[in-house]
Structure 1
Amino acid sequence: MVIISTSVWLPCLNSFIHSLIRRLKEYYRRQKEYYFIYKHRLLFAVVLAFSRALTNYAIINVLAWYFTDHGEDLVVSSIMSNIHGSLSSVLVVLMANAADSYVGRFYTILFSNTAYIGGLMLLLMFNPYDVKWLVVILLVLLALGTSGDKLLQEVLTDLVNDLDKSEAQTKERSIARAEIWPRIAKVVAAICAMLFVSQIGWGIQILICIVFMTICLIIFCTGHNSYHQGQLTERPVGVFFRVLHMGIKELLIKRKSWDYAGKITTIQWVMSLLRMFPMWEVFLVVYLISATGSTFFFEQYNNLNTNNQIAVQIYGLIKDVSSFAIPFLYPWICGLRKNNEKVKVGVGMLCGIVSCVFAWQLEVQRLKRVNNLDDKNANTSLSFLWLVPQFCVIGGMEGLTGEGLLNFYKSQMKEETLHSYGEEYIEFVTGFGTFLNIILILIFKSRLGWFGNTVNESRLDKYYLHLVFVGLVNFIIYCLFARFYYKDADRHQDLMNDDLINQRLDELLPCDNREQDNQPLANDEQVQENQL
């Protein structure tokens, strides 16, 4: 019986294995055809992406740790790192507007990389950083450099669109093919930063980054004739700032000289952006936690047992891998068939709270062991691996909330001009969240004395516990917004575009302008195209 049963199931198992291998090969072939495209014209942008990723992993991700390692106290190092992050996020909007409206993406990236190299040179040449105006210039130059990453992604998308002439070409496929190359560049740059660059002194690290960025920028310039952006179009940055600084009544009442079609378009933009403001306000706490992870999380590396073999840069890699992997695995982990972006954002917020809990508990244990040391600079018995969970979870927070908010924003914006500008607007809000971290640090230092000159003289455990409670309150507020204010996004958006705008126009416009409602739709579209 055993021989007979073996003769039955063994061929079946063999057939199953061959079938599985064949299906995996077919799946790999389809994925390769969908995601992968290679032409020599892509290389001039890919090498630049590699140099920027190398600098990001080696220097920028650990900027707070770098300043602390060069004699600055904990508060000053964190504030300088947060100033850079806030400026970088705000400048993303301005750089994108300049690239799309005035000088083009190629020259904007050229300017961004030149500023990047200039900032690194100041970082290398002037140490200690006791000249405050020089530090400000340094941070602004570095922020101008890091704010150009999104533009390089759009350059690769334009190149892929030019190279892919197949009938199966779609916008989503071009974006996917363009995104694969920066990811490959980031993986290679991360490996180089971990294995080679981070094992040497700070000065040599910065010098290597300067040399690589200069060489790659020269290669990028050689591709000028290979890149064609197309006609420049004005994007609605001005609308965002008007909505941010003025009320909608002032915007509508004082602009009496607009034509009717122009009023419709502007009111649609304003109402769409205003609807996103409650969500962006809730996200300020998310970006506050993210800014804390970029500064104080790295400071906890002090006194951990690393065996002198693990560089602090590894945690930036762990966070980036987590921010990509967790959103990718999220549908399978949660078992959700319907992709509900509001649930995804909520899960991301919970990840941020959990990361603060991990950081709080680690800091309690770390301070307890440091206080028992005679030499406060010596390593404790705590392993560097205890930092890994909080970086993994905060990476998941950034990935889930970033992807969820972007998709939710696109679902709210029916206007194509606003629809394509979501990442830049989100980055702008990120800058305010990072700036909020600076304000809290200064308040807690002056009022409560939680921050000293070093991490061992500070009470980061209390600060993390404070963030846990703030995150919980913010999560409850988000749930209320998601449940009641955004309960039916699509229906509310349609009503806003039709009934609400028409009602507002009836209240604000003269009677003689209302007769233009009966004009053909083609006339309105032609006027809007002429304005754009």
Structure 2
Amino acid sequence: MPAIVRAVLRSVRDWFRKYLYFSWPTVCIRGLVFSHSFANHAIVSILITYLSYMWEHPHSQIATVILNIQDGVSDIMVIVLAHIPRTYMGSFKVIVTTNATYIIGLILLWLSAKYMSVGTASRVFYGAMVLITLGESGRWAVLQEFLDEQYLSEHNHAELPYDVNQDKKDALWMLPWFLGAVVPPFLLKTTWAQIFLISTIAMGVSYLVFLLGFPCYFIHNVNNSEQSQDARTDEVNHLDQAPRVLEQTRSGNVRRLINILKKNERFLTETLSIWLAFFLAYSVIRAAGSTFFFQQMDNLKNPFNNYDPAVYFNLFSSLAKYVISFLWNLIPKTWKPSRLRIWCGMACIVLCCLVAWQVEIHRLETSSNASIFWLAPQFFLLGVMEGLAVYGMIDFLVDRVSEGDKVMVGYYGSHTTGLIIGIGKILVGLSVLAFRGRWFDDNNLDASHLDKYYKALTILTSVVFFFYCCIALYYYYTREELHDQTPSPVTTEMVNQPKPNPSRHYPSDEVTEKADEKAEDFGQLVSQIFQC
């Protein structure tokens, strides 16, 4: 029995050592992650409910169009903001700027909800959303990568393999993000003005803590030369002589990602095919999930008295996403090819559309007698499809490049996928505007033909799913034939790539060597003078 207890305690200790990591720089950044998660789950993800409350039903479909476009622009801006730190300004400055705009946007929302009339608040809302969208994009573009850099700069973490580091970096982000997500359900009796105020205070406090951690951060100097970026010669500046992060964490951009894809026509074709599937299938159901799914709650029985069920369902979807991702990572890597993960995600997209279609039919037949829990399956599948499809796409890209490019491809592969999904969301918003009055009614949700819309999405996603199955099977069964032939350019590059020097080189080492040479020359000169 004592041996079993010791084994259990050892396992618990190893888990804490692997996934719980604390240092002053990472704690300051994770406080900002916590406040971002709170604001996202309490406000941004369920803004459709606020607009429905503020504008009421006569403008419900306009609210859908606005939020789809806002969500799409936010996804597109991520790749733009991710490129700025490598071209014009550092990551720290981008984080400071985007979070300042986020806080100002929250302040405007609070002022509009607290002190302004409906007409004035509607006009202020547009300006606030521009600022909040910039802050949301800055989080995914820079903040997570900046947190990863602080972790890699400490205790030689950069020398560990990519897979080991990735698990720990995911844990660094996930813990504060999860804690921020579970707080909003405890504040459901508050008004919208109070939620805006609480979010503003949380963002402001964490923002100040983040600024206080500046002396401890590991910060790169910006090099405006693209040639130096491609050559991976970024200079490093640290206030307290922190260890240098491997240059792979900052090298490269979209152009480099494209060059990697171009080197292998097979890799490029399969990647573009998957991105096309994401554009046609994932973006349309994701746009519906952030708007129409929440609007369906208005005509269903709500057992949560004086509580907004949108917060519960949003948290439920987020938990489904991260739980399925966590469970998938427990499977041995040899048993879970990235194509299979994407396939499962695409299958969940079809199931989500199918379930939403059948639930809408049931809601129309039973009028207002249906329970709100009928929406739970489609919110669950909404989270599962993101945890499988999106993360599977990142795994697909990372698994097919050399070790030195995995970090860069992981970041920019995710940003490029978000760009494609964002364009799809904007087109969905414009299509809702185009069919407004025929399929989508402003005055009555029951007259909006959501059942027909979900039926069309089911057919579309089924066709896309069949398309992806054909693509995946083709590349799966032809891999052996291509493996026996001439190696691909990417493989050739990986084989011929020079091995890295095991001795780590720091900018301060070069300065020290030059100083030693000068001191040695000076000593020789002094000895010659005394000899004379």
What TM-score, normalized to structure 2?
Answer: 0.77
Instruction: Give the letter for the 1:361 counterpart.
Output: Q
Residue segments in structure 2 that go unaligned for 5+ positions in a row: 224-228, 230-250, 499-532
Counterpart-to-counterpart distance in 2, 1:309 and 1:134: 27
Q: CA shift at 1:303, angstroms?
A: 2.7
Matched, 1:319 2:317: yes
Instruction: Give the letter for the 1:40 counterpart.
Output: W
- The secondary structure found in structure 2 opposite 1:229 is strand
Out of 147, 152, 155, the position equivalent to 2:146 is 155
Out of 72, 95, 116, the position equivalent to 1:109 is 95
2:417 is matched with 426
Matched, 1:280 2:268: no
Q: CA shift at 1:132, angstroms?
A: 8.2
Deviates more, 1:471-480 or 1:127-136: 127-136
Counterpart-to-counterpart distance in 1, 2:202 and 2:354: 39
Query: Over residues 268-293 of structure 1, what are the superposed CA-to-partner deviations in whole Å (9 max), with x where a residue is unaligned?
Result: 39996565222101111112111211
Residue segments in structure 1 that go unaligned for 5+ positions in a row: 1-14, 244-263, 371-379, 502-519, 523-532
1:120 is matched with 106
Query: Over residues 313-353 of structure 1, what are the superposed CA-to-partner deviations in whole Å (9 max), with x where a residue is unaligned?
Result: 111111111011123334789x9962121121111111112
Out of 441, 460, 470, the position equivalent to 1:480 is 470
Give the direction of change, closer, same or farther, for the CA distance of 1:331–1:419 in structure 2 (3 Å limit).
Answer: closer
- The secondary structure found in structure 2 opposite 1:163 is coil
Counterpart-to-counterpart distance in 1, 2:463 and 2:169: 39
Instruction: Give the letter for the 2:184 counterpart.
Output: A
Q: What is the identity percentage for the equivalent residue pairs of Structure 1 and Structure 2?
A: 25
Counterpart-to-counterpart distance in 1, 2:67 and 2:37: 18
Instruction: Give the letter for the 2:315 counterpart.
Output: L
Q: CA shift at 1:366, angstroms?
A: 2.0
Matched, 1:389 2:373: no
Q: CA shift at 1:184, angstroms?
A: 2.1
Out of 273, 288, 291, the position equivalent to 2:287 is 291
1:23 is matched with 7
Map 1:4-19 onto structure 2 (within 5 A). Answer: none
Query: Does the Cα contact within 8 Å between 1:359 and 1:390 map onto a contact in 2?
Result: yes
- The secondary structure found in structure 1 opposite 2:302 is coil
Map 1:309-458 onto structure 2 (within 5 A). Answer: 309-311=306-308, 312-330=310-328, 338-370=335-367, 380-414=368-402, 416=405, 417-418=408-409, 420-445=411-436, 448-458=438-448
Q: CA shift at 1:82, angstroms?
A: 1.0
Deviates more, 1:272-281 or 1:149-158: 272-281
Counterpart-to-counterpart distance in 1, 2:81 and 2:273: 26
1:181 is matched with 172
Query: Does the Cα contact within 8 Å between 1:57 and 1:190 map onto a contact in 2?
Result: yes
- The secondary structure found in structure 1 opposite 2:291 is helix
Counterpart-to-counterpart distance in 1, 2:85 and 2:479: 32
2:51 is matched with 67
2:245 is matched with none
Instruction: Give the letter for the 1:328 counterpart.
Output: F
Query: Does the Cα contact within 8 Å between 1:269 and 1:418 map onto a contact in 2?
Result: no
Give the direction of change, closer, same or farther, for the CA distance of 1:51–1:167 in structure 2 (3 Å limit).
Answer: closer
Give the direction of change, closer, same or farther, for the CA distance of 1:240–1:115 in structure 2 (3 Å limit).
Answer: farther
Q: CA shift at 1:49, angstroms?
A: 0.9
Give the direction of change, closer, same or farther, for the CA distance of 1:134–1:46 in structure 2 (3 Å limit).
Answer: same
Give the direction of change, closer, same or farther, for the CA distance of 1:367–1:41 in structure 2 (3 Å limit).
Answer: same
C-alpha RMSD of matched pairs (Å):
3.3
Query: Does the Cα contact within 8 Å between 1:412 and 1:489 map onto a contact in 2?
Result: no
Counterpart-to-counterpart distance in 2, 1:361 and 1:489: 40
Out of 36, 39, 43, the position equivalent to 1:55 is 39
Give the direction of change, closer, same or farther, for the CA distance of 1:494–1:183 in structure 2 (3 Å limit).
Answer: farther
2:129 is matched with 139
Instruction: Give the letter for the 2:429 counterpart.
Output: I
Instruction: Give the letter for the 1:89 counterpart.
Output: D
Give the direction of change, closer, same or farther, for the CA distance of 1:363–1:275 in structure 2 (3 Å limit).
Answer: closer
2:296 is matched with 300
Counterpart-to-counterpart distance in 2, 1:232 and 1:456: 55
Query: Does the Cα contact within 8 Å between 2:261 and 2:267 map onto a contact in 1?
Result: no
Map 1:258-277 onto structure 2 (within 5 A). Answer: 268=263, 276-277=271-272
1:100 is matched with 86
Counterpart-to-counterpart distance in 2, 1:313 and 1:494: 54
- The secondary structure found in structure 2 opposite 1:148 is helix
1:195 is matched with 186
Counterpart-to-counterpart distance in 2, 1:275 and 1:71: 45
Q: CA shift at 1:26, angstroms?
A: 2.2
2:217 is matched with 227
Query: Over residues 401-453 of structure 1, what are the superposed CA-to-partner deviations in whole Å (9 max), with x where a residue is unaligned?
Result: 0111111122344472545521111111121121232133234335x434333
Q: CA shift at 1:199, angstroms?
A: 1.9
Give the direction of change, closer, same or farther, for the CA distance of 1:435–1:496 in structure 2 (3 Å limit).
Answer: farther
Query: Does the Cα contact within 8 Å between 1:34 and 1:173 map onto a contact in 2?
Result: no
Instruction: Give the letter for the 1:283 counterpart.
Output: F
Instruction: Give the letter for the 2:198 counterpart.
Output: I
1:239 is matched with 255
Query: Does the Cα contact within 8 Å between 1:50 and 1:182 map onto a contact in 2?
Result: no
Query: Over residues 496-528 of structure 1, what are the superposed CA-to-partner deviations in whole Å (9 max), with x where a residue is unaligned?
Result: 527999xxxxxxxxxxxxxxxxxx988xxxxxx
- The secondary structure found in structure 2 opposite 1:164 is coil
Counterpart-to-counterpart distance in 2, 1:240 and 1:165: 26
Deviates more, 1:396-405 or 1:40-49: 40-49
- The secondary structure found in structure 2 opposite 1:38 is coil
Give the direction of change, closer, same or farther, for the CA distance of 1:352–1:189 in structure 2 (3 Å limit).
Answer: same
Instruction: Give the letter for the 2:85 counterpart.
Output: A
Q: CA shift at 1:389, angstroms?
A: 1.3
Counterpart-to-counterpart distance in 1, 2:108 and 2:400: 43
Out of 61, 79, 82, the position equivalent to 2:65 is 79
Counterpart-to-counterpart distance in 2, 1:336 and 1:498: 22
